[in-house]
């Protein structure tokens, strides 16, 4: 009965990649050049764990150097974003956004009655909504490329946070 090693020996013996000058076989019948390719896998899970840790270190180093080059204000914005997405209230905000994205009828006049009442009851918030819309319009005019609505909102919101950080 042929074994795996015997199969590989016979296969590579007649392979066009097996030249007489490098005919030395390693354990299992592999030519030496192929044995050097598969040998690291002999470590199995340990090798995979080491590879994952090295990739993680590279990722951290790449992002740490990017963050280090940023201004104090921009680093503050990143810290604020991290604290927001780690906060349990962010999950509630995600659900609220999903719920409003499914709300039908915002293009009909009757949908704006409740919103106009809300804006009259909360003038500070209405002013912030107007400022945000105005900042998005200024961004749209000043940006060299067209941005989608969600991108405009993100840029403007992060810029507001940067502004409050720089004012401290």
Task: Using the predicted structure, report yes or no on whether residue 120 has a pLDDT greater than 80.
Answer: yes
Residue 65 counted as domain residue: no
Least confident of 26-35, 71-80, 137-146: 26-35
Task: Using the predicted structure, report yes or no on whether residue 14 has a pLDDT greater than 70.
Answer: no
Nearest to 42 by CA among 30, 53, 54: 30
Residue 52 counted as domain residue: no
Domain co-membership, 143 together with 79? yes
Q: In the structure encoding, which two tokens stand for residue 164, read together?
A: 């409050």
The alpha carbon of 67 is separated from its chain's Cα centroid by a whole number of angstroms, namely 15
Q: Per-residue pLDDT averaged across 110-128, rounded?
A: 86
Share of the chain above pLDDT 90, in %: 33
φ, ψ (nearest 5 deg) of residue 87: -75, 140
- Tell me, what's the pLDDT at 107? 75
Residue 57 counted as domain residue: no
Domain co-membership, 88 together with 127? yes
Alpha carbons 125 and 120: distance in angstroms, whole number = 9
Domain co-membership, 96 together with 162? yes
Residue 125 counted as domain residue: yes
In which domain, by residue range, is 118 found? 70-166
Residue 106 counted as domain residue: yes
φ, ψ (nearest 5 deg) of residue 105: 95, 10
Alpha carbons 83 and 68: distance in angstroms, whole number = 18
Work out the mean pLDDT of the chain and round it to a whole number: 79
Residue 111 counted as domain residue: yes
Domain co-membership, 80 together with 149? yes
Domain co-membership, 93 together with 146? yes
Q: From the CB of residue 5, how many other CB atoms can be counted at a distance below 10 Å?
A: 13
Domain co-membership, 28 together with 76? no
The DSSP element (H or E) to which 129 belongs, if any, is helix 123-142
Least confident of 14-18, 28-32, 50-54, 76-80: 14-18
Residue 48 counted as domain residue: no
| Contacts for 143 with CB less than 8 Å, ≥ 6 apart | none
Domain co-membership, 95 together with 147? yes
Q: Per-residue pLDDT averaged across 116-143, rounded?
A: 89
User: What is the number of structural domains in the chain?
Assistant: 2
């Amino acid at each position: 009965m042929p074994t795996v090693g015997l199969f590989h020996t016979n296969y590579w013996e007649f392979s066009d990649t097996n030249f007489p000058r490098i005919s030395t076989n390693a354990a299992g019948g592999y030519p030496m050049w192929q044995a050097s390719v598969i040998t690291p896998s002999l470590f199995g899970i340990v090798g995979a764990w080491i590879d994952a840790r090295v990739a993680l270190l590279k990722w951290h180093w790449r992002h740490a150097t990017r963050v280090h080059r940023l201004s104090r204000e921009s680093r503050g914005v990143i810290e604020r974003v991290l604290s927001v997405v780690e906060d349990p209230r962010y999950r509630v905000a995600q659900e609220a956004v999903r719920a409003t994205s499914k709300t039908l009828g915002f293009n009909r006049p009757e949908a704006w009655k409740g919103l106009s009442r809300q804006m009259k009851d909360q003038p500070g918030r209405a002013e912030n909504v107007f400022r945000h819309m105005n900042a998005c319009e200024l961004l749209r005019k000043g940006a060299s490329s067209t941005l989608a609505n969600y991108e405009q909102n993100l840029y403007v919101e992060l810029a507001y946070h940067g502004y409050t950080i720089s004012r401290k």
